[in-house]
Amino acid sequence: MAETTQLNPGVDDDIARIGAPSGDATLAIAGFTEEGENLSEFNDGTAQHGLKKHSHGNAPVIPEASRGERLKSYNLADFPVLTGREEDWRFTPLKRLRGLHTESLDGAGPTVSVGGAANIQVETVERTDPRIGCAAIPDDRVSAAAWAAAPVATVITVPAQTTADSEITVSIRGKDAAPAAQHLIIDAQAFSKAVVVLNHQGTATLAQNIEIRVGDGAELTVVSVQEWDEDAVHLSTQQARIGRDARFKHVVVSLGGDLVRLTPSSVFTAPGGDVEMYGLYFADAGQHLEQRLLVDHAVPRCKSRVTYKGALQGKDAHTVWVGDVLIRKDAEGTDTYEVNRNLLLTDGARSDSVPNLEIETGLIEGAGHASATGRFDDEHLFYLMARGIPEKEARRLVVRGFLTEVIQQIGVPALEEHLSEAVERELAAGNL
Amino acid sequence: MATLDIKDLHVSIDTDQGSKQILKGVSLTIRTGETHAIMGPNGSGKSTLASTIAGHPRYNVDSGSITLDGEDVLSMSVDERARAGLFLAMQYPVEVPGVSMTNFLRTAKTALDGEAPSLRHWTKDVKQAMAKLRIDADFAQRNVNEGFSGGEKKRVEILQLELFGPRFAILDETDSGLDVDALKVVSEGVNREHSKGNMGTVLITHYTRILRYIKPDFVHVFVDGAIAEQGGPELADRLEDEGYDRFAAQGTAAASA
Ligand SMILES: Nc1ncnc2c1ncn2[C@@H]1O[C@H](COP(=O)(O)OP(=O)(O)OP(=O)(O)O)[C@@H](O)[C@H]1O
Ligand SMILES: [Mg+2]
């Protein structure tokens, strides 16, 4: 198994990741690098070269006992080659990755164009830019490979104290199926306010790292919409670091693509943070839509809410939701709740839902989770039809109602409308 | 004037133990303007009759017929039956998560009429009907039946009755779970609709108290999947005094005959 490391921010800079096949060790803990003063607090620079040794020696292999101990490294070689038996890959059909996990990610990749707000800053930067690594550290092999392979990064900065004068739209357009890597950074500085919508379309075989820094007192919404062509393969790590009293809303909408696997995470770095994570996915026949979340309550008095909802229709439509919530020893006053609901519209679809709450302190406000996967109920259908509503329309009414709850949370009217229409198209395509 | 005709209806359901016969030859004719009360012990098949008329897929019709002005109801889908003018107020109305009352009522009305109601009038009609049934205005925003109390669900069934104006209404224990005031409010709703003269009503109940508000023209006693006796309103009073005991023997005898 690959996950053999420990990341324990703010506790011990001596804890290293271990068990790398190369035998060398890489450590990356916020604010605890010794050699990294000239780099960002989170980047030890090893990712670029894969050489630099960073931690204080090697420790024995520790099997993953907790989600918080999963291997994290900028060094691709630290991650064993995937077999599909790893805990975090066990639901993913590797053979449909079109080489993302085996081939070099040197395709041109989708184009990125940023529009919308005028009072923000958009840059394309070299890999040596100190902001690379400001908020993320790969915790799986494909993410690490993408980290090493992405030739440049797009950095979107919302300056401190600035309210973006409109939504920021990031259009990501894929043109071919060559395996490619991509790196984006969204840096919402202290007390800024912004909404960023990432829109993925076209075809691609893409491994993507998105770093999101939510500065102290900032309010940031990031919406990641996957409306890929039906052959696309997309693996995306979206890691957010949440500052003091910051508010972060993350929304995932996965509709298109053959295989889409997102691993969004929110890590609280100072008290008072508030995170909402929403997800909506609609899988058709043969589609694999996977989302693995992590909310890391590492500090006191933060609040998180996770709501993911999925609909499935058609043979071999498969969705996966794994929601890991960590409440660490110091996270007193934590208030968290996560829920995942799935609606199976036809036979032959499969939905896996795994909530996972780890609690290391009893001094919390509340912690809960719920997960339910229901079949579209004959009794619902009967009730609606008994009021004259034809079967097709009754089904649509229910699905629409089911998913609208999430769409309404986005808070971008044009996008909400667009997505409602997209859901209608999904329903129409499924002949429901 | 319309007629709903049920003839020698035999209905069974599939259970784990195999097919189970529930209705054993029910015949009943209801005409516009009439009110029929059906009374009978638990498990005698009253809800089965109601659900079969509405077309619930659980019930298999083995023989017999249901026609509406000569049209074969049994060959219609559930929604077609509703559009033909049949309305079932359910004993246990279903909660439909994710669908708001407002959206549901408008969608149903549009389906029943074949065209969307004029928005201005419709909103007003809904508000007024809700007020008359003493349903709080904020119920319109809530999901269909979700979290409604038993009594609230029943009021919402009658709200639909008034808004949709069916040709035949089957009210399955609409009075159960209502307090005295609610019973009155709900009965008035049924009477308002009935008094328009376009509706025939079947009232399934265990209690005569609702019959003080809604006067039946006929009372049918349902026992073991068949009508054991019929009469006028006075039969209801007799049932209240005597119970169903004298029918139970008969029913068993008939079944084993
Ligand atoms: N799914 C089922 N499996 C087995 N038996 C069933 C099922 N559904 C209904 N029945 C049986 O069918 C019979 C008739 O039920 P029905 O609900 O029609 O009675 P009812 O007259 O409406 O009773 P109540 O007054 O309690 O509402 C009962 O014996 C009931 O147990
Ligand atoms: Mg009943």
* Angle separating helix axes B180-195 and B119-132, nearest 10 degrees: 140
More reliable by pLDDT, A9 or A326: A326
Question: Does residue A371 form part of some domain?
Answer: yes
* Residue where the block lists tokens 């990610």: A105
Mean pLDDT is lowest, of A137-141, A306-310, B2-6, B242-246, for B242-246
User: Has residue A7 got a pLDDT over 50?
Assistant: no
Q: Are residues A296 and A353 in the same domain?
A: yes
pLDDT score of B250: 52
Instruction: Report residue A143 as tokens.
Output: 């993410």
Please work out whether the CB of residue B15 comes within 6 Å of at least one atom of ligand 1: yes
Please work out whether the CB of residue B251 comes within 6 Å of at least one atom of ligand 1: no
Instruction: Report residue B211 as tokens.
Output: 């019959």
Query: Tens digit of pLDDT for each residue in A129-181?
Result: 999 999 999 999 999 999 999 999 999 999 999 999 999 999 999 999 999 99
Q: What is the mean pLDDT of residues A404-408?
A: 84
Residues shown for chain B: 257
Please work out whether the CB of residue B225 comes within 6 Å of at least one atom of ligand 1: no
Please name which of A395, A389, A324 lies closest in space to residue A353, comparing C-alpha atoms: A324
Please name which of B42, B65, B38, B43 lies closest in space to residue B52, comparing C-alpha atoms: B65
Mean pLDDT of chain A: 85
In this structure, which residue's CA is closest to atom 19 in ligand 1?
A: B43
Q: How far is the CA of A31 from the centre of ligand 2 (A)?
A: 68
Question: Does residue A109 form part of some domain?
Answer: yes
* CB atoms A388 and B82 under 8 Å: yes
Q: Are residues A287 and A404 in the same domain?
A: no
Q: Are residues A176 and A207 in the same domain?
A: yes
Please work out whether the CB of residue B13 comes within 6 Å of at least one atom of ligand 1: yes
Q: Which domain holds residue A407?
A: 376-432
Question: Does residue A22 form part of some domain?
Answer: no
Q: What is the mean pLDDT of residues A230-238?
A: 97
Q: Are residues A407 and A294 in the same domain?
A: no
Q: What is the mean pLDDT of residues A197-214?
A: 98
Q: Are residues A402 and A343 in the same domain?
A: no
Q: Are residues A294 and A354 in the same domain?
A: yes
> Is the sign of the CA dihedral A96, A346, A392, A387 positive or negative?
negative
Q: What is the mean pLDDT of residues A390-397?
A: 89
Q: Are residues A297 and A381 in the same domain?
A: no
Q: Is the pTM of this model over 0.95?
A: no
Note which residues in 123-152 of chain B have CB less than 8 A from chain A.
Answer: 143-144
User: Does an H or E element contain B65, and which?
Assistant: strand B59-68
Task: Please calculate the CA angle A134-A139-A141 and round it to the nearest 5 degrees.
Answer: 120
Please work out whether the CB of residue B48 comes within 6 Å of at least one atom of ligand 1: yes
Give residue A432's pLDDT band: very low, low, confident or very high (50, 70, 90): low
Residues 6+ positions from B2 with CB-CB distance below 8 Å = B31, B32, B68, B69, B85, B167, B168, B200
pLDDT score of A57: 36
Please work out whether the CB of residue B24 comes within 6 Å of at least one atom of ligand 1: no
Is the minimum CB–CB distance between B13 and chain A shorter than 8 Å?
no
Query: Tens digit of pLDDT for each residue in B194-239?
Result: 999 999 999 999 888 899 999 999 999 999 999 999 999 999 888 8
User: Has residue B182 got a pLDDT over 70?
Assistant: yes
| Domain ranges, ordered by start, for chain B | 3-256
* CB atoms A387 and B54 under 8 Å: no
Q: How far is the CA of B100 from the centre of ligand 2 (A)?
A: 27
CATH of domain B3-256: 3.40.50.300
| CB-based neighbours (< 5 A) of ligand 2, an ion | B 46-47, 91
pLDDT score of B40: 92
Give phi and psi for A81, each to the nearest 5.
-60, 140
User: Has residue A17 got a pLDDT over 50?
Assistant: no
Q: What is the mean pLDDT of residues A59-84?
A: 78
Testing ligand 1's pocket by substitution, the residue of B19, B48, B170 carrying the most ligand atoms inside 8 A of its CB is: B48
pLDDT score of A375: 78
Q: Are residues A385 and A353 in the same domain?
A: no
Q: Which amino acid is at A63?
A: P
Nearest ligand to the C-alpha of residue B24?
1
Write the DSSP assignment of A167-215 as a string of letters: -EEEEEEE---SEEEEEEEEEE-TT-EEEEEEEEEE--EEEEEEEEEE-
Is the minimum CB–CB distance between A390 and chain B shorter than 8 Å?
yes
Give residue A9's pLDDT band: very low, low, confident or very high (50, 70, 90): very low
pLDDT score of B255: 42
Is the minimum CB–CB distance between B114 and chain A shorter than 8 Å?
no
Q: What is the mean pLDDT of residues A27-41?
A: 32
Is the minimum CB–CB distance between A370 and chain B shorter than 8 Å?
no
Is the minimum CB–CB distance between A363 and chain B shorter than 8 Å?
no
* Contact residues on chain B for A401, CB-CB shorter than 8 A: 96-100, 103, 143
Q: What percent of chain A has pLDDT over 90?
A: 70
Q: Are residues A411 and A338 in the same domain?
A: no
Please name which of A52, A60, A48 lies closest in space to residue A34, comparing C-alpha atoms: A52
Q: Are residues A308 and A163 in the same domain?
A: yes
Give the per-residue SS3 of A13-62. Answer: CCCCCCCCCCCCCCCCCCCCCCCCCCCCCCCCCHHHHCCCCCCCCCCCCC
How far apart, in whole angstroms, are the C-alpha atoms of residue A415 and residue A406?
12
* CB atoms A387 and B82 under 8 Å: yes
Strands A152-158 and A121-126: antiparallel
Query: Tens digit of pLDDT for each residue in B30-60?
Result: 999 999 999 999 999 999 999 999 999 999 9
Instruction: Report residue B78 as tokens.
Output: 């559930």
Q: Are residues A284 and A429 in the same domain?
A: no
Please work out whether the CB of residue B42 comes within 6 Å of at least one atom of ligand 1: yes
Q: Are residues A322 and A427 in the same domain?
A: no
CA B10 centroid distance within chain: 19
Q: How far is A102 from chain B (nearest CA, A)?
A: 43
- The domain tally of chain A equals 2
Radius of gyration in angstroms for the set of CA atoms belonging to chain A, rounded to a whole number:
21
Question: Does residue A36 form part of some domain?
Answer: no
Domain boundary among A344, A375, A406: A375
How far apart, in whole angstroms, are the C-alpha atoms of residue A374 and residue A351?
10
3-state secondary structure of A69: helix
